[in-house]
A and B are shown apart, each in its own frame.
Chain A
Amino acid sequence: DGGITQSPKYLFRKEGQNVTLSCEQNLNHDAMYWYRQDPGQGLRLIYYSQIVNDFQKGDIAEGYSVSREKKESFPLTVTSAQKNPTAFYLCASSPISDTQYFGPGTRLTVL
């Protein structure tokens, strides 16, 4: 089946640890995105990538890092520099300048 997968679904992190969230797509989309959603709020853009080996910061990139070594994959690392990382993280992909389609999300909780 074509689609976007995110893993894990739930993730727990101790303070001071880095964690990496996985996002894979087999839709042959050029662009990929990471968003953060906090309770009762809309989505905020963390990073996006329009092509392999290139990515741009979104509105809230501080404390996060990404890589785009393959077209299909866009992992997000939440570093210890992110002061309030507990949130729901959504990955999306799209053809360039077209509709974004979302994965099922990863819920990160800092213990």
Chain B
Amino acid sequence: AQKVTQAQTEISVVEKEDVTLDCVYETRDTTYYLFWYKQPPSGELVFLIRRNSFDEQNEISGRYSWNFQKSTSSFNFTITASQVVDSAVYFCALSEGLGDMRFGAGTRLTVKP
């Protein structure tokens, strides 16, 4: 069975600090996909990134970066030089195929000015 664990329930940082959100997953499949979504106070989930299990290259997109390590079953998300607009709940998710996406419980990030 697939499972996603986000151990950090809440994180609070001051603007311009770097912050890393942890995500650990469990799956028996060799082919799977990992996702990060952002949920701002408005409630809509915003897609951030999708990685497949065969691509362990780290990815950077502006202030966002993702570290995928199959050896530790982790897919961590780092925000560099955080801003107040980054305040949201962030979800990590795992999919093994059709209609079976599993979400972690989410990490609430608060960035204070």
A99 at the A/B interface (Cβ < 8 Å)? yes
Known contacts A42-B91, A43-B91, A99-B50; A105/B44 CB under 8 A:
yes
Give min CB distance, A60 to chain B, whole Å.
Answer: 13
Interface: A2 (CB within 8 A): no
A-B contact count (CB 8 A): 54
In chain B, what residue has the closest Cβ to A6?
B44
Interface residues on A, range: 20 to 34
Q: Closest CB-CB distance, B51 to chain A, in whole Å?
A: 11
Contacts of A53 in B (CB 8 A): none
Which of A40, A42, A58 has a CB less than 8 Å from the CB of B99?
A58
Q: Which residues of A contact B64 (CB under 8 A)?
A: none
Instruction: Decide if A50 touches B105 in the complex (CB within 8 Å).
Output: no
Asked if A97 contacts B97 (CB within 8 A), the reply is yes
B103 closest partner in A (C-beta)? A42
What residues on A are CB-neighbors of B100 within 8 Å? Answer: 45
- Least CB distance from A45 to B in Å reads 7
- Residues in B with CB closer than 8 Å to A103 are 44
Complex contacts, B101 vs chain A, CB 8 Å:
33, 45, 100
A-to-B contact residues, CB < 8 Å: 31, 33, 40-45, 48, 50, 56, 58, 88, 90, 92, 96-97, 99-105, 107
In the A-B complex, list the 9 residue pairs whose CB atoms are closest, starting with the nearest.
A42-B103, A48-B99, A102-B45, A105-B43, A43-B103, A104-B44, A42-B105, A99-B50, A42-B106
Can you list 21 contacts pairing A with B, beta carbon distance less than 8 Å?
A31-B98, A33-B99, A40-B106, A41-B105, A42-B4, A42-B106, A43-B91, A43-B103, A44-B103, A48-B98, A48-B99, A58-B99, A90-B45, A92-B45, A96-B98, A97-B98, A99-B50, A101-B47, A102-B45, A103-B44, A104-B42
Add 8 more A-B contacts to A50-B98, A104-B43 (CB < 8 A).
Answer: A33-B99, A90-B45, A92-B45, A96-B98, A97-B97, A97-B98, A101-B47, A102-B44
Q: Which residues of B contact A (CB under 8 A)?
A: 4, 9, 35, 37, 42-47, 50, 91, 97-101, 103-106
